[in-house]
Chains A and B, each alone.
Chain A
Amino acid sequence: MTVLLEADHLLRRYATRRGMLGRPVDVRAVDGVSLVLEAGRTLGLVGESGCGKSTTGRLVLGLETPDGGEVRFQGDAMPPPGSAAWRALRARMQMVFQDPLGALDRRLPIGVQVAEPLEIHAIGNAHERAARVETLLRAVGLRPDHATRYPHELSGGQRQRAVLARALATDPALLVCDEPISALDVSIQAQVMNLLVELQDRFGMGVLFISHDLRAVRQVSHRVAVMYLGRIVEEGDPDAVLHDPAHPYAQALVSAIPHPGRGARRIVLQGDPPNPADRPRGCAFHPRCPVATSLCTMDVPALKRRPTDGRLIACHVAHGDVPAGGGVAEVKEAA
């Protein structure tokens, strides 16, 4: 397997102010994330909103520049955003958005928008482009006559299909899907995910699939990474993570999936939802963790390989460094 995309200790900070003249507060949206994506495979990235998974997606696409670490695509470093090399690279990597209606220009027909990447990257003549658009529309399950329709004339699922067709126009090696199904009806979600798997078989692109829905991720991914407050806390085989989550946060996520006859085992997380501007000291998850120990309040656990099965986990308890505790009161980092 060839490595398509490597992200090495990505760091992305935002400075926000409290009030007009307040002291700037450093917010680490992404705090040392490393990923490897192999060509033609899918990596799922799971976490609740605000955990930095979308920012990670934008960083690996080069839409934002990391404040630390680097992204290598097919072995080469990412050129600065907006440069000619960066623009040319867009033909090799594409993005699918959460809101297909927002991502499409409502004043242009679908066919024109699907052909636009070909036009931008000067691929083929007018005739070849028209043929390519027809192929793409069929490949995503639309009819060629949909090309003349406008976005508002299509259903939500059809729009996301059109966005997929546009993203695949230049035959990219990498597709980043940022919550591609969360704006769709539940009945449509499965169709779009099946389509994604089908398209991967046919076009062979690597996919970074970002979602808050662990089940959706499992359905399409070859590997899955769970993010919490800007860091990856667990990474491994999707089935293994879903059946036997090791990190307490992953356990909580899995237990939140509705399952007939298993309702009683649901772990309800304590405390406030995480705020990246007010990151707890030590393991960021410790204020909400049911098994936290005093070590967790001081020492940040590293993402390490578990010797038994090779899964990557960042948790003192899961690695057996300390016996499971009973949770601790929140200790905030001194402001």
Chain B
Amino acid sequence: MLRFLTVRLLRAALTVAMVVTFAFVVLRMSGDPAQIIMGADAPPEAVEAFRAAWGLDRPLWVQYFNYFGAILSGDLGRSMRDGRDAIQLVAERIPATLALTLPALLMKVALGIPAGIYAALHRNSWVDRLVMIVAVAGFTVPSFVLGLLLVLVFAVQLGWLPSGGQESWRHAILPVVTLGLGGAAVLARFTRSAMLEVLGQPYIRTASAKGVPWHAVVTNHALPNAAIPTVTIIGFMMGSLIAGAVVVESVFSWPGVGRLLVVAVANRDLAVVQCILLLVAATMVFANLVVDLLYGLLDPRLRNAPKRAVA
């Protein structure tokens, strides 16, 4: 188990290191990093000081390691718009984003998994068909279209809910529903196919042929096995807690990390973009790590085996 953990941690660290390298390379390719990070109208002596501080006059590989060191110590540059620390700017927005993505994740799990299981157990019933139709729609209707349709109906036509902003909990309803519906559809479709695959396995037929009651077959044999692939997709959804609301936050003018990212990209506020990039990568990698560990708990076979054969 310890080796399992070590290998996973090393892989996670490698991936984060690759993202940092990517940011470094892209930053170097896009122009003078001192000028870009400090902003075009920064005083020349400040730029010089920055250069000296970041060692931009040294060889590229030294710069590369310094860049790594700076990021490890939490120095991610300053926003060129208001000169504040990028990391602080981003951190301020995280609670607002989580206020959308956490309830949405709950909604996805609470709606999607039961719907998927029910559909699989009652294959070709009207519920199954409905779940499939909604699931296909969840994939083909982009979130900004769904969000705008909800605004059109519930804010513009019916006037029940506000169309945007962050004044009260009522403002959060439409964005949460927009995020949750799409994700629930994906999860339902995934759970359904995972269940159907498991239900077709010989051990399920064996169990029911032995006379095990059907509900016991489902709870003891089918659900634990179908849980394994489903955990992956939930892990991926957890990884997008911070980054998954970029479009929806823009639709509803919700001041979260996603909105900050869009504004920063539009203004080419590179320090902020880089900070969000690293934050998202770290979240995703962490979520993948958690999924891997959960895998080990759910599926004892995987505990000691390498995930991918080094062939």
Q: Is A84 an interface residue (CB 8 A)?
A: no
A21: nearest residue on chain B (CB-CB)? B3
Q: How far is the CA of A20 from the CA of B3 in the complex (A)?
A: 9
The A6-63 residues at the B interface (CB cut-off 8 A) are 17, 19-21
Contacts of A17 in B (CB 8 A): 310
Q: How far is the CA of A19 from the CA of B3 in the complex (A)?
A: 11
Distance to closest chain A CB from B225 (angstroms): 25
Q: Is B304 an interface residue (CB 8 A)?
A: yes
Contacts of B306 in A (CB 8 A): 19-20
Residue picked from A17, A20, A21, most chain B C-beta under 10 Å: A20
Q: How far is the CA of A136 from the CA of B306 in the complex (A)?
A: 49
Q: Give a binary string over B290-311; 1 marks a CB under 8 Å from any A CB, 0 the rest.
A: 0000000000000011100010
B3: nearest residue on chain A (CB-CB)? A21
Q: How far is the CA of A19 from the CA of B305 in the complex (A)?
A: 7
Q: How far is the CA of A20 from the CA of B11 in the complex (A)?
A: 13
- Shortest 4 CB-CB distances between A and B: which pairs? A20-B306, A21-B3, A20-B7, A19-B304
Distance to closest chain A CB from B137 (angstroms): 38
Contacts of A21 in B (CB 8 A): 3, 7
A20: nearest residue on chain B (CB-CB)? B306
Known: A20-B7, A20-B306, A21-B3. 7 other contacts (CB 8 A): A17-B310, A19-B304, A19-B306, A20-B3, A20-B305, A20-B310, A21-B7
Contacts of B7 in A (CB 8 A): 20-21
A17: nearest residue on chain B (CB-CB)? B310
Interchain Cβ contacts under 8 Å between A and B, 10 examples: A17-B310, A19-B304, A19-B306, A20-B3, A20-B7, A20-B305, A20-B306, A20-B310, A21-B3, A21-B7
Distance to closest chain B CB from A17 (angstroms): 8
Contacts of A19 in B (CB 8 A): 304, 306
Q: How far is the CA of A20 from the CA of B306 in the complex (A)?
A: 6
Distance to closest chain B CB from A295 (angstroms): 41
B310: nearest residue on chain A (CB-CB)? A20
Distance to closest chain A CB from B305 (angstroms): 8
Q: Give a binary string over B1-37; 1 marks a CB under 8 Å from any A CB, 0 the rest.
A: 0010001000000000000000000000000000000
Distance to closest chain A CB from B304 (angstroms): 7
A19: nearest residue on chain B (CB-CB)? B304
Contacts of B305 in A (CB 8 A): 20
Distance to closest chain A CB from B108 (angstroms): 34
Q: How far is the CA of A17 from the CA of B304 in the complex (A)?
A: 14
Distance to closest chain B CB from A301 (angstroms): 36
Q: How far is the CA of A20 from the CA of B304 in the complex (A)?
A: 8
Q: How far is the CA of A21 from the CA of B305 in the complex (A)?
A: 10
Distance to closest chain A CB from B12 (angstroms): 16
Q: How far is the CA of A64 from the CA of B165 in the complex (A)?
A: 68
B308: nearest residue on chain A (CB-CB)? A20
Q: How far is the CA of A165 from the CA of B305 in the complex (A)?
A: 45
Distance to closest chain A CB from B185 (angstroms): 38
Contacts of B304 in A (CB 8 A): 19
Distance to closest chain B CB from A180 (angstroms): 28
Contacts of B310 in A (CB 8 A): 17, 20
B6: nearest residue on chain A (CB-CB)? A21
B307: nearest residue on chain A (CB-CB)? A20
Distance to closest chain B CB from A155 (angstroms): 33
Q: How far is the CA of A21 from the CA of B5 in the complex (A)?
A: 13
Distance to closest chain B CB from A177 (angstroms): 28
Q: How far is the CA of A244 from the CA of B301 in the complex (A)?
A: 50
Distance to closest chain A CB from B77 (angstroms): 39
Q: How far is the CA of A19 from the CA of B309 in the complex (A)?
A: 9
Q: How far is the CA of A17 from the CA of B306 in the complex (A)?
A: 12
Contacts of A20 in B (CB 8 A): 3, 7, 305-306, 310
Q: How far is the CA of A254 from the CA of B259 in the complex (A)?
A: 80
Distance to closest chain A CB from B303 (angstroms): 12
Q: How far is the CA of A162 from the CA of B3 in the complex (A)?
A: 51
Distance to closest chain A CB from B8 (angstroms): 11
The B265-311 residues at the A interface (CB cut-off 8 A) are 304-306, 310
Contacts of B3 in A (CB 8 A): 20-21
Distance to closest chain B CB from A189 (angstroms): 34
Q: How far is the CA of A17 from the CA of B3 in the complex (A)?
A: 15
Distance to closest chain A CB from B295 (angstroms): 15
B7: nearest residue on chain A (CB-CB)? A20
Distance to closest chain B CB from A161 (angstroms): 34
Q: How far is the CA of A288 from the CA of B40 in the complex (A)?
A: 82
Distance to closest chain B CB from A14 (angstroms): 12
Distance to closest chain A CB from B125 (angstroms): 40
The A223-282 residues at the B interface (CB cut-off 8 A) are none
Distance to closest chain A CB from B160 (angstroms): 57
Distance to closest chain A CB from B178 (angstroms): 43
Distance to closest chain B CB from A25 (angstroms): 15
Q: How far is the CA of A285 from the CA of B304 in the complex (A)?
A: 34
Q: How far is the CA of A20 from the CA of B311 in the complex (A)?
A: 11
Distance to closest chain A CB from B311 (angstroms): 11
Distance to closest chain B CB from A20 (angstroms): 4
Q: How far is the CA of A6 from the CA of B60 in the complex (A)?
A: 55
Distance to closest chain B CB from A23 (angstroms): 14
Distance to closest chain B CB from A175 (angstroms): 31
Distance to closest chain A CB from B103 (angstroms): 40
Q: How far is the CA of A21 from the CA of B2 in the complex (A)?
A: 12
Q: How far is the CA of A17 from the CA of B305 in the complex (A)?
A: 12
B4: nearest residue on chain A (CB-CB)? A20
